[in-house]
Amino acid sequence: MAQTMTIHFKIWRQSGPDAKGKLVDYTLDNLNEDMSFLEALDVLNETLIHKGEEDPVEFDNDCREGICGSCGVVVGGIAHGPMKATAVCQLHMRHYKDGDTIVVEPFRAEAFPIVKDLVVDRSAFDRIIAAGGYVSVDTGGAPDANSLPVPKNDVDEAFDFATCIGCGACVASCPNASASLFTGAKIAHLAHLPQGQAERKQRVVRMVDQMQAEGFGDCSNHGECEAVCPKQISIAAIAKMRREYLRAVFG
């Protein structure tokens, strides 16, 4: 039988982009250990609404299945929390002990301005994708599966990089607030596939230039991005991006 637990939260509250924020203390004593972390926040918000004393805590979420990335917040000083390869929505309260104190903050980066409370504006990622993270050439109808062979190693690497969900944990964990892992994954994904070849050079230049224009810092190989990535994207994507950029500019 699931046990109930008391958890103390310190949650960042900020009423708007230009407002001054602060950590606010909350205590919940009716949490079920089988609840997800977001369900615990739901319970908190229901309590706040019932009391009518303050607005509920704003936080992003959508699928709650660990595949969309919109739930990203910093839990206990770690982007997406302490569980490796796990998005916040898949983090469960059973990983904490009765009486624990959990600090919850938004992703912090100049390129991710805070909208309210735990919600940040990650549209900078959208603009990086819009700069070149797509295939626009006419590839015709879908060919037979075996008519265009792709080496298995290329397929496997492309798939690994394609699993990036664009949550922004890499940016939040990087001391430079770099978006190199995200951008590198999107570039490396298409660089490994035949349909990505026609626009290969212009893609990497446009996406890297847009990444820099958005105000993200540069990568200095700390590796924190790989450590917190819920999809375990390898920093090999960053090396691939750099090689692609050099070949596009000087090749």
Q: Each residue of 162-221: pLDDT tens digit?
A: 999 999 999 999 999 999 999 999 999 999 998 899 999 999 999 999 999 999 999 999
CATH superfamily entry for domain 122-136+149-250: Alpha-helical ferredoxin (1.10.1060.10)
Percentage of residues of the chain with pLDDT beyond 90: 90
Name the pLDDT band for 143 (thresholds 50, 70, 90).
confident
For the chain, give every residue range classified as CATH 3.10.20.30.
4-105
Task: State the CATH architecture for 4-105.
Answer: Roll (3.10)
| Size of the chain, expressed as the number of residues it contains | 251
pLDDT for 204-235, tens place per residue?
Answer: 999 999 999 999 999 999 999 999 999 999 99
In this prediction, what percent of the chain has a pLDDT beyond 70?
99
Taking alpha carbons only, the member of 204, 207, 183, 186 closest to residue 251 is 204
In the chain, ranges of CATH 1.10.1060.10 domains: 122-136+149-250
Specify the pLDDT at position 145.
66
